[in-house]
Amino acid sequence: MARQAPATDPAQDAPEVTAPKHAAAGLPALLHTTQIATAQMGAARSVRTLLKLNQPDGFDCPGCAWPEPEHTHTAEFCENGAKAVAEEATLRRVGPAFFAEHSVADLAERSGYWLGQQGRLTTPMLLDEGATHYTPIGWDAALQLVASELKALDTPDAAAFYTSGRTSNEAAFTLQLFARQFGTNNLPDCSNMCHESSGSALTETIGIGKGSVHLKDLYQADLIIVAGQNPGTNHPRMLSALERAKRAGARIVSVNPLPEAGLERFKNPQNARGLVGAGTKLTDLFLQVRLGGDLALFRALNLLLLEAEDKAPGTVLDHAFIEQHCHGFAEFADDARTTDWDAVAAATGLPEEQIRDLAGMVLESQKVIVCWAMGLTQHKHSVPTIREVVNFLLLRGNVGKPGAGVCPVRGHSNVQGDRTMGIFERPSAAFLDALGTEFRFEPPREHGLDVVDTIRAMRDGRVSVFFAMGGNFVAATPDTPVTEDAMRNCRLTVHVSTKLNRSHVVTGARALILPTLGRTDLDRRAGGPQQVTVEDSMGMVHASRGALKPPAADLLSETAIICGLARRTLGPKNPVPWEDFSADYGNIRDRIARVIPGFEDFNSRIRQPGGFALPHGPRDNRSFPTSTGKANFSVNALTAPEVPPGRLLLQTLRSHDQYNTTIYGLDDRYRGIKDGRRVVLLHPEDAAEHGLAEGGYTDLVSEWTDGVERRAPHFRVVLYPTTRGCAAAYYPETNVLVPLDSTADTSNTPTSKSVVIRFEPDSGPEGAADSAH
């Protein structure tokens, strides 16, 4: 029986609760930034580092994927960007002495928070079969070990190569090339748990799985709908863009079960008015929807638009656009007209009047943008939900014109770029053809494994070497005990990482930690100091140059590690010039330029300040590279999560003091929670109905068709203005509750935002610490 260390130590997790805030940023954000930055980096390094953030000659923020504005401020950073940087640029170190002192069994008892706080990894470390401790290993021996394990596999498909979205374009391109030269498309990535539903829905409907707006479009929009996203915490720089849009006359609607402070009001810390004044009110209309109610909401809006057109023919729909550029309108419209208001009310929990108000705002707007994030992508019916958003925009020609479009807001800073570079288990034939031609080999054609299927394959013994380029696989994925057992079932698990995390202590028979440079570190190779490139959420590609002295002298970059591994695995006859790639990343960019459309003259174009835009057919000239050659309307049956009587729906989300599985601190300032993370936010009437009071404790137990008991013990009850029937608690503590097999249709994304739960009596802090499986 293995213990399962939670993200925080339950004995010290003692949340204090005050009322939620109604505005984001302002002076407290600046103060908090300074505190965290100086604790990790000291004062001088903090100033030097933060001044380089998101500047034309500096490094790209390792926080979120929101694009950089025109570099007008001397310090273009936000509180959470600064925390991400401080976490990486910390002066604390985890070296051989640390691993000699702490056995793996000891580390497996520590919380994720504690592990992350220990500092930057400095030395390649091996956990040998049967060993109790990690011990240092040289780079050559480490890479040789991985190579021989890979070569010993019966089939290349018994290896999986995971990528987290911080990886640069150069490292991502090199990794997928290596995996495919080795012979597999097993390239699962964090996107499988994130915006895969957006990619699936957009590719099908508009022909490209990326957003169709640039920053300037937000400034020109009449109406911006923000659904299922908490930008105040997760994309704080988006609030400056929303503020600017608002000043230019846009109206903003937020659709969310929670009244998120950042969407209510924004105090821009970049100016005096924001620091001391009341800030800018952002949201004009707040629709407090039920979890998973967005498909019904957009269906209802589409019905109202069709009815408005019936009343005043020729004035509501963009007929010219629909006729010239769209396919499937009649079938869609016939189905939309059957939308049943009772079903809409049940699914959304919204008064019909409010939906009619929003439809009225839509009719008054010529240019509409819909922004979304995990609230829309992590449900069983996420793909049809996003297709319905596309229907909504197509009706009034809101795709491919200034000030309008789809805006999925990505998470990790280069998750979109990694996909562009070919980190995908289901690559297109065109991509593989180009790759094969350029590097004179026949890439594997069979689809590979995504995240959920990789876990199943490791569990069932079909994958036995797991290699991760960043991330924290066991903590980020669903069904924690299942995933942990799957990892333990491997022959070898390898993590290329900057910081210590849970995935280093739940290992295969043998394990390697390969420490690497981060975005902020100076990366000097044989060809001189290197730069890398990244692509933001709006398809802008630009360079990033680290400037800080690396945490240890012989740290290798991600790219150098992959090239070293590829050489040792594929042998001297392999036609790819891995040595040249590793010496100067410009050589990799020259090849990317020849393989991937839109990257022509890559090396010269990254010299342009601000970088360059990748082509996007729908946005650039209303060309839709779909199966029909047009933008596809789709028919999406009205579905919503089903919740049995006496049960609630739980969403698992982020606090203000975390970056995914990295915990920065124990506060969720905007939601009024301090000094703890094991909280469940409940509507007061739901709490009363279940006999729970503010400050009381309860276990959360999830229900799924397999009948397996999944329990997250000891959560403090917080009465909160969430939608009735809809609870919220933080990830990764609650990943134990998400069943591996509960995934979105088509995209296979875990349904992290709709988990059916019941309450059971509190097992106490000991129960939480001991939650054995």
Ligand X SMILES: Nc1nc2c(c(=O)[nH]1)N[C@H]1C(S)=C(S)[C@@H](COP(=O)(O)OP(=O)(O)OC[C@H]3O[C@@H](n4cnc5c(=O)[nH]c(N)nc54)[C@H](O)[C@@H]3O)O[C@H]1N2
Q: Which residues bind ligand X (CB under 6 A)?
A: 63-64, 80, 164-166, 190, 193-194, 227-230, 233-235, 255-258, 260, 289, 291-292, 294, 373-375, 411-412, 469-473, 476, 496-499, 501, 516, 518-519, 558, 651-654, 658-662, 731, 734-735, 738, 752-753
Residue 90: which of Mo ion, ligand X, none does it interact with, CB under 5 to 8 A by kind? none
Q: Are strands 16-17 and 673-674 parallel, antiparallel or unpaired?
A: antiparallel
Establish how many alpha carbons lie within 13 A of residue 150's alpha carbon, considering only the half-sphere containing its beta carbon.
26
Q: Which is nearer to Mo ion, 181 or 413 (CB)?
A: 413
Q: Please state the closest distance from residue 383 (CB atom) to ligand X, in A.
A: 14
Residue 111: which of ligand X, Mo ion, none does it interact with, CB under 5 to 8 A by kind? none
**Does residue 465 come out as left (phi exceeding 0), alpha (psi in the -120 to 50 range) or beta?**
beta
Residue 652: which of ligand X, Mo ion, none does it interact with, CB under 5 to 8 A by kind? ligand X
Residue 659: which of Mo ion, ligand X, none does it interact with, CB under 5 to 8 A by kind? ligand X
Q: Which is nearer to ligand X, 257 or 550 (CB)?
A: 257
Distance CA 476, CA 451 (A): 10
Residue 269: which of ligand X, Mo ion, none does it interact with, CB under 5 to 8 A by kind? none
What is the residue-wise DSSP string for 236-303? HHHHHHHHHHHHTT-EEEEE-SS--HHHHEEE-TTSHHHHHS--EE--SEEE-PPTT-HHHHHHHHHH
Q: Which is nearer to ligand X, 469 or 606 (CB)?
A: 469
Residue 501: which of Mo ion, ligand X, none does it interact with, CB under 5 to 8 A by kind? ligand X
Q: Please state the closest distance from residue 276 (CB atom) to ligand X, in A.
A: 25
Task: Specify whether the CB–CB gap between 370 and 393 falls below 8 A.
Answer: yes
Q: Please state the closest distance from residue 97 (CB atom) to ligand X, in A.
A: 19
By CB under 5 A, is residue 411 in contact with Mo ion?
yes
Q: Which is nearer to Mo ion, 194 or 512 (CB)?
A: 194
Q: Please state the closest distance from residue 333 (CB atom) to ligand X, in A.
A: 25
Residue 289: which of ligand X, Mo ion, none does it interact with, CB under 5 to 8 A by kind? ligand X
Residue the block writes with tokens 């509190």: 762
Establish how many alpha carbons lie within 13 A of residue 758's alpha carbon, considering only the half-sphere containing its beta carbon.
10
Q: Which is nearer to ligand X, 157 or 558 (CB)?
A: 558
Q: Which stretch binds Mo ion (CB under 5 A): 232-240, 404-412, 483-491, 705-713?
A: 404-412
Q: Which is nearer to ligand X, 519 or 678 (CB)?
A: 519
Residue 472: which of ligand X, Mo ion, none does it interact with, CB under 5 to 8 A by kind? ligand X
For residue 610 the two structure tokens come to: 């601000």
Short-list 489, 495, 509, CA closest to 467: 495
Q: Please state the closest distance from residue 373 (CB atom) to ligand X, in A.
A: 3
Q: Which contacts of 622-627 are long-range, i.e. CB under 8 A and separated by 24 or more positions?
A: 622/321, 622/325, 622/399, 622/400, 624/206, 624/207, 624/325, 625/207, 625/208, 626/203, 626/204, 626/205, 626/206, 626/207, 626/327
Q: Which is nearer to Mo ion, 476 or 561 (CB)?
A: 476
Q: Which is nearer to ligand X, 139 or 441 (CB)?
A: 139
By CB under 5 A, is residue 373 in contact with Mo ion?
no
Q: Please state the closest distance from residue 468 (CB atom) to Mo ion, in A.
A: 16
Distance CA 352, CA 348 (A): 10
Q: Which is nearer to ligand X, 118 or 574 (CB)?
A: 118
Q: Please state the closest distance from residue 593 (CB atom) to Mo ion, in A.
A: 28
456 backbone dihedrals φ, ψ, rounded to 5°: -60, -40
Q: Please state the closest distance from residue 33 (CB atom) to ligand X, in A.
A: 12
Q: Please state the closest distance from residue 532 (CB atom) to ligand X, in A.
A: 10
Number of residues that bind Mo ion (CB under 5 A): 2
Nearest residue relative to Mo ion (C-beta) = 411
b/e 566-600 (16+ beta carbons within 10 angstroms → b): bbbbbeeebebebebbbbebbbbbbbbbebbebbe
By CB under 5 A, is residue 768 in contact with Mo ion?
no
Residue 373: which of Mo ion, ligand X, none does it interact with, CB under 5 to 8 A by kind? ligand X
Site string for Mo ion, 714-753 (x = CB under 5 A): ----------------------------------------
Q: Which contacts of 526-529 are long-range, i.e. CB under 8 A and separated by 24 or more positions?
A: 526/582, 526/583, 526/584, 527/583, 527/584, 527/586, 528/584
134 backbone dihedrals φ, ψ, rounded to 5°: -75, 140
Q: Which is nearer to ligand X, 288 or 632 (CB)?
A: 288
Residue 10: which of Mo ion, ligand X, none does it interact with, CB under 5 to 8 A by kind? none
Residues whose CB falls within 8 Å of the CB of residue 179, separated by 6 or more in sequence, listed in order: 159, 161, 185, 186, 187
Q: Which is nearer to Mo ion, 194 or 487 (CB)?
A: 194
CA angle 447–448–454, rounded 5-degree value: 150
Q: Please state the closest distance from residue 746 (CB atom) to ligand X, in A.
A: 17
Short-list 688, 513, 474, CA closest to 121: 513
Could you tell me where the DSSP H helices lie in 444-557?
451-459, 473-476, 480-488
Residue 476: which of ligand X, Mo ion, none does it interact with, CB under 5 to 8 A by kind? ligand X
Q: Residue 342: helix, strand or coil by DSSP?
A: helix
486 backbone dihedrals φ, ψ, rounded to 5°: -60, -45
Q: Please state the closest distance from residue 289 (CB atom) to ligand X, in A.
A: 5
Distance CA 253, CA 238 (A): 15
Distance CA 164, CA 414 (A): 9
Distance CA 158, CA 490 (A): 10
Q: Which is nearer to ligand X, 165 or 199 (CB)?
A: 165
Q: Please state the closest distance from residue 247 (CB atom) to Mo ion, in A.
A: 30
Q: Please state the closest distance from residue 236 (CB atom) to Mo ion, in A.
A: 16
Interface with Mo ion in residues 182-201 (CB under 5 A) = 194
For residue 109 the two structure tokens come to: 């008892």
Task: Specify whether the CB–CB gap between 391 and 302 falls below 8 A.
Answer: yes
Residue the block writes with tokens 């800080």: 548
Q: Which is nearer to Mo ion, 194 or 505 (CB)?
A: 194
Q: Which is nearer to ligand X, 452 or 496 (CB)?
A: 496
Q: Please state the closest distance from residue 397 (CB atom) to Mo ion, in A.
A: 31
Distances (CA, A) of 545 to 175, 367, 520, 521, 720: 20, 37, 7, 8, 43
Residue 662: which of Mo ion, ligand X, none does it interact with, CB under 5 to 8 A by kind? ligand X
Q: Residue 332: helix, strand or coil by DSSP?
A: helix
| Residue 313 CA from chain centroid, whole number | 42
Residue ranges in contact with Mo ion by CB under 5 A: 194, 411
